[in-house]
Structure 1
Amino acid sequence: MKPRYSFSSHRTRRTENIKKQRPKYPELAKAVIEDSDIVLEILDARFLEETRNKELEEEILKKGKKVIFILNKADLVDPKKIPKEQLKELLPYVFISCKEREGVRELRKKLQIESKRIVRKPLTAEQIKQGFDNRIKVGIIGYPNTGKSSLINVLVGKNAAGVGSDAGFTRGMQKVKLTSDIVLIDSPGVIPKDQYSQIKTDKITKNTKVGGRSYSQVRNPEDVVHLIMTDHPGILEEHYKLDTKGDVDELLDRLGRKKGILKRGGEPNTDLVARNVLKEWQTGKIRK
């Protein structure tokens, strides 16, 4: 079976737009890999396994392309707490913090080393005339909101790609010059077909937890907060200084009263409270 992919909805809540774009998704995903000599798979260092796209990894191996795993948002985790066996599966990898600009020099060095190993035949006069590009191409793939555009910007040293906290902010594919010999190929965030759904609550909840869906777009934010509390016991209580013994309803109720996020009549607006929690979670204000 050929792998299929689904890209994020580019800041739209309308399902019909997603359906219209869907036929293009496999072409875009494969085009990045097909056109690349080296592929960077961007992972969220907090959710390494959850943000891996193993379908795309199979495609990379099938095409015989070099892959480097980028463990992004490294400032939000303690790398020493990540199991060594898990890291071995990701060799070669680089810990990156775009926010703190850590690991950028190491990645640039790796790209330069790998690029020198790729042998290019000189372009013919006709190829030059036709505009053939003989530079080393580095494709960048990953789940929505894992930091692909932020990585490009810190590598290039300027705002080369649009960046936002909303999942799927990057629009279409674009090429960005890194050096005279290396060009980066950016693309929208991609979710594996077996993890993507517009109707299955468990998949929607999981994708929102890892940032694949924006906190502003999910229909049941309370379910995502519950998943966070289940997978990471005590993390929200510690962050908000509330002892709720893992009770999501109590946490949202007390947090709403504490922050004054109330409906008419004085009851907590738990939907809005949950979205605020998810916003802080997705933007890294809550650390693992």
Structure 2
Amino acid sequence: MKHPDDTEQALPQTIGVLGGGRMGSGIAHAFLIAGARVVVVEVNDDAVSAARGRIEKDVSASVERGKIEGTAGEWLDRLNVTTDASAFSECGLVVEAVPEMWDLKVESLRRAESQLHDDAWLATNTSSMSVDGLAGELKRPERFCGLHFFNPVPASKLVEVVLGRRTSEELREKAQEWVAGLGKTPVTVHDAPGFASSRLGVALSLEAIRMVEEGVASPEDIDLAMTLGYKHPVGPLALTDIVGLDVRLGIAEYLESQLGPRFAPPQLMRDMVERGELGKKAGKGFYSYE
């Protein structure tokens, strides 16, 4: 069991996270309870307050469940949430975790890279965008890779390490060590649309949504078919609610542009997103959440 004074040798002493939303806060929490100091950079004071609140809640839950020793306050003393990107200058690794929009990703990664010292590393948490394409927008592509975390980050045991053509062998080895240092398991893939996890996961969810759209079965029965028949821990529609229909729609549209019409989003998916039925975070998706 970890204590705030423990350090994990596999990890850089200070980790940066650009973006403190659901995923960014989860990534910050994972590195924090692994023993690193964490700097989260957000766009404004309201976003700073929201990100800190999410991380405080997750850290408190980890203490209450006995996953880490000490008090929540001791762990949170190692956290800095700010709007000042110059705080990344002290980080050995920065993970970008902003929404899945190309221009925003590029702008955010350039902003982070401009603050890093020469020995620091940079990663993106993108779930589908080209790591090679993003690397081409950076000054040091050899020090850049994908670290694709899964939602919810505290409970997930998997991180996809995505290698670009110019990712150095040193970074490949370090990235695998970092993931292991978080108590998670790395799978390593080369850059391709959707990598391994998103490509397969989205394909399954899109077909499940088409089945609902066509009246083949209810969301509950489709999910039961996969959890009981194929031993999936969560059905594809419940998982889509957890990830967010808007997030899945963005990934599907990108994969369609890269891989063709088999990834075309069903109209039902578009309609639900337009109605604000985004899943668990909105209180309604394929299921209702009180």
More helix by share: 2
Larger Rg: 1
User: Is the TM value for this pair above 0.5?
Assistant: no
Higher relative contact order (CA 8 A, sep 6+): 1
- Please state which band the TM-score falls in when normalised by the shorter chain: 0.3 to 0.5
